[in-house]
């Protein structure tokens, strides 16, 4: 068996409207109409061919858990972006706190409304 890639990353959310505002209005993603029916609400976003983010409206088994201040010291998923400066401006405009990568890479971290850590790494497109 060989792992061929990452199909999707799933995040537990507590407020679908807040999560959608962040992922759609701040990050610019569009909801996928292809989401299968589950016994809970949520949304899927196509990020790249064959890659998705799945938001699941479910009770959080880690509610109240203290998260590290810097997302790089927490569980996170890293997204490739072509323009880190543009994303930084978008996050600042939306009042979303972020931290720069502590390794010196062209990368930064933020958290979604449910404190899921996200990393953004600038890559040459």
The predicted-structure confidence for 95-120, as pLDDT tens digits, reads as follows: 999 999 988 899 999 999 999 999 99
| Ordered structural domains, the chain, with CATH | 8-59+68-122 (3.10.180.10)
- Asked whether the beta carbons of 7 and 47 are under 8 A apart, the reply is no
| Residues 23 and 55 sit within 8 Å (Cβ to Cβ) | yes
67-79 burial, b at 16+ Cβ within 10 Å, e below that, comes to eeeebbeeebeeb
pTM: 0.90
**Residue 35 vs residues 7, 43, 46, 74, 108: alpha-carbon distances, Å:** 14, 7, 10, 28, 29
Asked if 113 and 18 count as a contact pair (C-beta separation under 8 A), the reply is yes
pLDDT of residue 125: 58
Instruction: For residue range 17-74, list pLDDT tens digits in order.
Output: 999 999 999 999 999 988 888 899 999 999 988 899 999 999 999 888 899 989 999 9
């Amino acid at each position: 068996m060989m792992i061929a890639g990452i199909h999707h990353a799933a995040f537990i959310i507590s407020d679908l409207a807040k999560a959608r505002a962040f992922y759609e209005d701040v990050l610019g993603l569009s909801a996928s109409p292809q989401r299968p029916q589950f016994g809970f609400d949520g949304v899927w976003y196509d990020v790249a061919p064959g890659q998705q983010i799945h938001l699941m409206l479910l009770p959080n088994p880690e509610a109240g858990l203290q998260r590290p201040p810097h997302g790089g010291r927490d569980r996170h998923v890293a997204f490739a972006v072509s323009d880190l400066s543009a994303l930084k401006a978008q996050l600042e405009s939306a009042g979303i706190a972020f931290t720069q990568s502590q390794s010196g890479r062209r990368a930064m971290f933020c958290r979604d409304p449910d404190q899921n850590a996200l990393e953004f790494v600038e890559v040459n497109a």
